[in-house]
Structure 1
Amino acid sequence: MTRTHDERPGHGPADRPTGPTGLTAWARDLATGARFALTGGREGWLRTGLTAVGVGIGVVLLLIAASVPEMLSQRDERQAARDVTSSTAGGPRADTLLYQSVGTDYRDKPVSGALLRAEGPKAPAPPGVDRIPGAGEMVVSPALDRLLKSDEGKLLRERFRYRAVGTIGDAGLIGPSELFFYIGSDHLSTDNPAVRYGQGERVLRVNRYGSDQDDPPLSPALLLLVVMVCVVLLLPVAVFIATAVRFGGDHRDRRLAALRLVGADIKAVRRIAAGEALCAALIGLAVGTGLFLSARRFASGITIQDTSVFPADLAPAPAPAALVAVAVPALAVVTTLLALRGVAIEPLGIVRNAVARRRRLWWRLLLPAVGLVLLVPLSGSVSLYGYGGTVPTVRVAVGAVLVLVGVTALLPWLVEACVARLRGGPLPWQLAVRRLQLSGGSAARAVSGITVAVAGAIAVQMLFAGTQNDYVGKPDEVPATHSRIQAMYRTGTAAEVRGWQERLRATEGVTGAVATVESYADAHGGEGRGGVATVRVADCATLRELARLDSCADGDVFVAQEPDGDVPTARNFPPGTPLEMARWDSSGGSEKAYRWTVPASARVVATRPDPTGEHRFGVLATPSAIDVRAMPEGRTVASVKFRQGDLDAIERVRNTAAGIDPAVRVWRMGGVVKDDHYAAIQRGLLVGGTLTLFLIGGSMLVTTLEQLRERSRLLSALVALGTRRSTIGWSVLWQTAVPVVLGMILAVAGGLGLGWTMLRLIDRRVKDWLSFLPLVGAGTAVILLVTLLSLPPLWRMMRTNGLRTE
């Protein structure tokens, strides 16, 4: 279309305002647009439906995100309501009970609970439980009850040989999939406390449930991770909603041109288009709300990495919900008005079909530049370990958003710049290139969501990798085949410890086991040259498995030195060294101390690997040489080795340990221990990332189908003129592949740059520059899957009956 005079929007003869102005004109034209959306015939209904579905999908995820604060708050409240943190002073009363936290694992899933013993008729029952179970009785969570009754829980049933008298209600559970229990016990006593070391818990006398302690605040580095996770998960949703409201743009613009023909000015036309988009967005908001309310009923059946929620927990807070209700329609209107700025809608047509002017690059580069200007000066300012520090969360979030939005904004320009220089090639390639040259913006919008998601995911992955060593404990040097386990229990006599060791050795699948009574000790007064060592007590037969002994008799003591001398035990704790073993209270003071001197007759011996392959250096003593009952932090520690890869052997060892006492703690050696907050953020990223991936896949499928529908007549015409279907199919694939490749290049560049900048904030270096490969592969896989799903509709649209018209 060629302009012969000044026909810029708002300057032509037909653009002079007529009729009402101001708010009245806006109300009239918005209502007209809504009427077109609802009564525009099949074409209008289809476009409105596609937009509503697209917006609705985005609204679902936004409402889920708005529910996260309430969900976490409810989980924390239920956790605090059932926790027991301190003992009641004095002896037993009518309203007290004894409480000991216990736990186990099954197939590496945590199974936690507590042993209870009522000391009076008024002892309080735990939240979600009608009464305290008696000796030999138990109450379990519904999820644990189902597991125990299933074939999968066969081995676990041997560990819970108690009479089930009920299930725990929702008020006593963190989530519906939690494996939790309460067991009644008549053996609990505060005179024989369980160990505090490691995972052990003391027996507490309490008269109520509930924790008054607040969780420690997130460290600044973890807060930085939270900010980045929120940005990465929510920004693709906003991009998708902005894309969804532009569905069917070509058909809408032709209809708007008809309105110009009957006398509407350009401003009225734009307001009518905004009204149509607003109506579709409001319908999408209602659809999304309905989908959210329907889907949350099934929330209890979804578990991701042992994390699940009750449906009632998925309730958006009022302020975020109101923000979603306002922001989504506003985004629809703003996006529509911005899209129409580049289109001159005239009475006889639209300028969209003419050669468009080149996209400007400067403002697209300005966005990430401003983001980096906000972030780079903060380098090294975020403390990794400090608590209570400040993080400029708004500045960090705005900077990250600008960088990621800049990556998205660069994609249409990059696609246009690249395809403008492409020439020649096979026929499908030429058809694809020509289509991209005419409408590269639409193709870029189709993959913009996956581009920004991959770029953000790369940045977060680099941030997680850079902080992993600070929040994730290094695993022991053991095979990754589940071949070693440790168990910990109260201090036992020599006969008891020997008996427990033999029971473990007799367990099917066990190839070796050793059990000793252990305690940490330091030089008397804590100032000797010895530092800290471990005192181990066992009979001679067991000590011979720990060290090379020429002779051994009850009453002997040895100082075990590693053969390579890496730990100079013999030099630091020579015979004659006075030791002190103490129990420390919560304030750091010593509650009780036991002093003992390494006899001058002690012999220095070399260690040997125990059945699990470990060297147990330190002080080795026989039962008559030391009073194990007086060791304030004494505990019985058993190390067990079994057939590599035999998962059932692990459960049988845990069953044997539970048969000794439910308070025995068992864990697999070599496991990775994560900081609780770090693990929670990582789980949140996994859950949110999974939902975002489904959203992006669904949005791309809807976008692709909408674009194919707009070109259905053109596709039918090509087939009618003799073009082979395979040629058209390959051209469609190439139309998707080119923007995808360019989008992934941008995502990698933007993600690596943002990730490097974020690591500089916490003064950390990049651990792996190739960590983006799995993320790029996942994004590419989503795009390929969407393309394959779009092929059947494409084949149907190429039928020649698509040329019929009325």
Structure 2
Amino acid sequence: MIRFGLRLAVASGREAAARLAVIAAAVAVGVGMLLAVVAAVHATGAQNARYAWLNTGAGSTADENGPLWWLLRYDRYDGRGIVQVDVAAVGAGAPVPRGLPRLPGPGEYYASPALAALLASEPADQLADRYAGRQVGTIGDEALPSPGSLVVVVGHAPDELAGRPEAVRVRSIMATDPADCADCFAGNGPDAVMMLLAIVAAAILFPLLMLTAGATRLSAARREQRFAAMRLVGATPRQISAISAVESTTSAVLGTILGFGLYLAVRPALSEISFTFERFHPADVVLEPLDVVVVALGVPLLAALAARVALRRVHISPLGVVRRVTPRPPRAWRLIPLLLGVAELAYFIGRRPATSDGQILAYISGMLLMMVGLVMAGPWLTMVGSRLLALRSGRPATLIAARRLADDPRAGFRAVSGLMLALFVTSVATGVITTIVAERGPGAGGPAQATVLAQSFWDEPVPVDRFPRAGLSADLRAIPGVRGVVVVHENPDFGPNGADLPGLVPCADLADRPTLGRCEPGARVASVFDGLVDFRDARAGRAAGTWPAAELSPDDVARLPVLSVVVETNGSVTALEQARTRLATEFPLVRPANTAREWESDFTSTLVQWQRLADVVIVASLAIAGCSLAVSVAGGIGERKRPFSLLRLAGVQMAVLRRVVVLESAVPLLVVAALATGGGFLAAHLFLTSQFEYSLVAPEPAYYVIVAAGLLASLAIIASTLPLLRRVTGPETARNG
């Protein structure tokens, strides 16, 4: 049976060879993508492990008698984050972080290769002057989450760090993976990363599975008839199962081999894709031996099982193949899960759950209900659409296509179901991301969010007798692009039962600084945010508003500790970075200065990266959907070549048959794309209204261009199958049928 099955698979004519090639190609693409996602999961874990040492000070590593002082801070340069670790050895036996040959001493520092290159290429007064002393080496790759990570380890004397509020003494360097550490703060959260990869896998692999399934159905009717004939001449169900399994397994094995080759071809590019928003080290993008074994054996096995299920009618009865009846039409009850999902999301508007777990349960369950509902409602909606098309049709091609879709809407919907889920997920993501970025990202809160730099002393306000007001202000004002400097003092009445704003500023200092706000008429002192432009209220744009008056006099304010130094600039990189460097040299061991936009930038940058990933998913899923439709069209033409041939003999023109084929494929594609996109935006609007009280903001035109381009590409792929119609519908087909 095995030899006979192999002969049928590879040596029974051009049709069999073409079917083998198509199925193998579909399996190869699916296997290649699956291996890429698995390798990305492993790379994510390896990258997370490289973050472990930065969590030193958390958990059991902290020890008040430890031999090493440790202070972790986050700095910036031109929008890029810099991780700075300040260390000081108390005595012998101080632990050495991974990637370093030794601890840096006072006046020494180690920099990552990317930061070392940046230090060498940029002016010293914009970056290098922040690190006193000299660079004594570079940090090894084993301590860097990404080849482009900006990390610096700076050495100090013990007494320099001993008085810092955020510095801790440690006995050992953290080695626990952040995914297994409840107290860790650096690294990729395992749930978020795995959810990200799950979305990518679901949005790309599901359409690929549909493509593979569609390819295995090529010439299904002809194969069923052939196997039924074998049953009639004495073949047993077990022999038929063996033959069909050999046919399917042959193509699956070939496709799996090609899939591994495809993965090896794209593996170098995987390290450049920012799944976690940082590039992977190439050595981390690997497959485990178990992965190879599971995929190499599992895919052919699943193909064999799929073949058995596909030919279940032959197992019931060889005559069952010719007893074909029109399947029962889907019913309207299929809309119930979709409506329940919409109702659940709408219910929580104004009733947002108080806890994070409650919110996750409420929103995720609603989204899942809508996804399940779309899949279940798809055949019914396809049937309704086809019937409406038939009622309004005025041409034979439209009527034939509409009636065929109405007879079997499940088959028409099946090829585009993967596309529908991918478009729904990406439409939700696009709607949510676009709205949040519009509310909190670049452009939100006015230009002051990006041009006003604030050096805060929130943890330890500076006494006025130790604050170099005159010299520092003069140096900052001398920087090209700096428009003004304002010193904010601590508000002694700030607290739960006192003033709402933590800082105080004499109104005279704001008189010529309209960008930073204005005082009430007649006021001498204003209550303000510590940074004047507050990252926690960026959406409100308070910098352009009126600050409430305070009861203290300017002389009283001048005697209060300094809470922050605010530098207004023209927004240029030179002005911002020179001012930041000057503040860093004056206050070397405090939290670095930031703009309000930079406080939000990590969040909004992550959203933008998700948007880019969503765009990739849209393009990939649309292309895969087009291939699925192409396979479906080719299979449908092959199955109906005799009826089409008879129509041609009856005088139907080839152009009419082409329109029938195009309409049968294009109508479900376009209907599903519109339904999934609209449903995704509706879900996004309900979520945003409930969770943030935001209204959905329309995506940028680029989103619609991407979707339209993908749909056009899918239609072009469908059109590429039309030449097959003329070749298989000649008179000999009707004569030999």
1:766 and 1:229 map into 2 onto residues whose CA distance is 27
Matched with 1:167 is 138
Matched with 1:498 is 470
Q: For this pair of structures, how many residues does the alignment match? A: 693
* 2:452 and 2:568 in contact (8 A); partners too: yes
Question: Which deviations, in whole Å up to 9, do the C-alpha atoms of 1:16-54 show, x marking residues without a partner?
Answer: xxxxxxxxxxxx58x865664455565434433332332
What secondary structure sits across from 2:600 in the alignment? coil
1:209 aligned to 2:180? no
* 1:422 and 1:433 in contact (8 A); partners too: no
- The structure-2 alpha-carbon separation of the partners of 1:358 and 1:105, relative to structure 1 and needing over 3 Å to count, comes to same
Matched with 2:713 is 785
Displacement of 1:691 after TM fit? 5.2
Displacement of 1:563 after TM fit? 0.7
Larger helix fraction of residues: 2
Displacement of 1:743 after TM fit? 0.8
* 2:504 and 2:557 in contact (8 A); partners too: no
1:743 aligned to 2:672? yes
1:457 aligned to 2:426? yes
Question: Which deviations, in whole Å up to 9, do the C-alpha atoms of 1:60-81 show, x marking residues without a partner?
Answer: 4445555676555544443232
1:653 aligned to 2:625? no
Q: 1:211-610 alignment to 2 at 5 Å?
A: 214-215=182-183, 230=198, 234=202, 237-247=205-215, 249-262=217-230, 263=233, 267=237, 269=240, 272-292=243-263, 295-303=266-274, 306-311=277-282, 313-314=284-285, 332=303, 336=307, 356-357=326-327, 359-361=329-331, 364-365=334-335, 383-386=353-356, 391=361, 399=369, 402-410=372-380, 412-414=382-384, 416-421=386-391, 423-425=393-395, 444-459=413-428, 477-479=445-447, 482-488=450-456, 491=462, 493=465, 496-516=468-488, 518-522=489-493, 530-531=498-499, 534=502, 544-546=508-510, 562-563=519-520
Amino acid of the structure 1 residue aligned with 2:95: P
RMSD after superposition: 6.0
1:143 aligned to 2:143? no
* 2:97 and 2:173 in contact (8 A); partners too: yes
Amino acid of the structure 2 residue aligned with 1:115: D
Matched with 2:77 is 106
Amino acid of the structure 1 residue aligned with 2:450: H
1:415 and 1:653 map into 2 onto residues whose CA distance is 63
Query: Given the alignment, which residue of 8, 13, 29 partners 1:57?
Result: 29
What secondary structure sits across from 2:274 in the alignment? coil
* 1:407 and 1:452 in contact (8 A); partners too: no
1:639 and 1:702 map into 2 onto residues whose CA distance is 57
What secondary structure sits across from 2:72 in the alignment? strand
Amino acid of the structure 1 residue aligned with 2:579: V
Displacement of 1:127 after TM fit? 1.8
Displacement of 1:108 after TM fit? 1.7
- The structure-2 alpha-carbon separation of the partners of 1:333 and 1:498, relative to structure 1 and needing over 3 Å to count, comes to farther
1:125 and 1:170 map into 2 onto residues whose CA distance is 15
Question: Which deviations, in whole Å up to 9, do the C-alpha atoms of 1:482-507 show, x marking residues without a partner?
Answer: 33222336737566232222222111
Question: Which deviations, in whole Å up to 9, do the C-alpha atoms of 1:702-742 show, x marking residues without a partner?
Answer: 33554566659989999999999999988876555422321
2:548 and 2:415 map into 1 onto residues whose CA distance is 61
Of stretches 611-620 and 401-410 in structure 1, the one that deviates more from structure 2 is 611-620
Displacement of 1:358 after TM fit? 5.6
What secondary structure sits across from 1:545 in the alignment? helix
Query: Given the alignment, which residue of 551, 562, 567 partners 1:640?
Result: 567
2:557 and 2:310 map into 1 onto residues whose CA distance is 88
* 2:85 and 2:153 in contact (8 A); partners too: yes
What secondary structure sits across from 2:114 in the alignment? helix
Displacement of 1:189 after TM fit? 0.7
Amino acid of the structure 2 residue aligned with 1:640: V
Question: Which deviations, in whole Å up to 9, do the C-alpha atoms of 1:78-100 show, x marking residues without a partner?
Answer: 32322232796668xxx834333
1:96 aligned to 2:22? no
- The structure-2 alpha-carbon separation of the partners of 1:183 and 1:612, relative to structure 1 and needing over 3 Å to count, comes to farther
Of stretches 135-144 and 124-133 in structure 1, the one that deviates more from structure 2 is 135-144
1:487 and 1:535 map into 2 onto residues whose CA distance is 13
* 2:245 and 2:307 in contact (8 A); partners too: yes
What secondary structure sits across from 2:330 in the alignment? coil
- The structure-2 alpha-carbon separation of the partners of 1:389 and 1:719, relative to structure 1 and needing over 3 Å to count, comes to closer
* TM-score normalized with structure 2 length: 0.71
Question: Which deviations, in whole Å up to 9, do the C-alpha atoms of 1:395-438 show, x marking residues without a partner?
Answer: 7797465324314444653564344445335x986897688689
What secondary structure sits across from 2:174 in the alignment? coil
* 2:327 and 2:407 in contact (8 A); partners too: no
- The structure-2 alpha-carbon separation of the partners of 1:420 and 1:797, relative to structure 1 and needing over 3 Å to count, comes to same
Q: Mind listing any 5+ residue stretches in structure 1 that lack a counterpart?
A: 1-27, 197-201, 549-559, 573-608, 629-633
Displacement of 1:454 after TM fit? 1.7
2:523 and 2:28 map into 1 onto residues whose CA distance is 63
- The structure-2 alpha-carbon separation of the partners of 1:64 and 1:272, relative to structure 1 and needing over 3 Å to count, comes to same
Matched with 2:536 is none
Displacement of 1:532 after TM fit? 6.0
Q: 1:9-28 alignment to 2 at 5 Å?
A: none
2:74 and 2:697 map into 1 onto residues whose CA distance is 40
2:501 and 2:100 map into 1 onto residues whose CA distance is 44
- The structure-2 alpha-carbon separation of the partners of 1:494 and 1:617, relative to structure 1 and needing over 3 Å to count, comes to farther
Of stretches 95-104 and 223-232 in structure 1, the one that deviates more from structure 2 is 223-232
- The structure-2 alpha-carbon separation of the partners of 1:746 and 1:328, relative to structure 1 and needing over 3 Å to count, comes to farther
1:755 and 1:624 map into 2 onto residues whose CA distance is 48
- The structure-2 alpha-carbon separation of the partners of 1:406 and 1:252, relative to structure 1 and needing over 3 Å to count, comes to closer
1:566 and 1:503 map into 2 onto residues whose CA distance is 30
Identity %, equivalent residues: 22
2:715 and 2:730 map into 1 onto residues whose CA distance is 24
Structure having the higher Rg: 1
Displacement of 1:165 after TM fit? 3.5
Q: 1:120-131 alignment to 2 at 5 Å?
A: 120=91, 122-131=93-102
- The structure-2 alpha-carbon separation of the partners of 1:400 and 1:326, relative to structure 1 and needing over 3 Å to count, comes to farther
- The structure-2 alpha-carbon separation of the partners of 1:246 and 1:273, relative to structure 1 and needing over 3 Å to count, comes to farther
* 2:43 and 2:284 in contact (8 A); partners too: yes
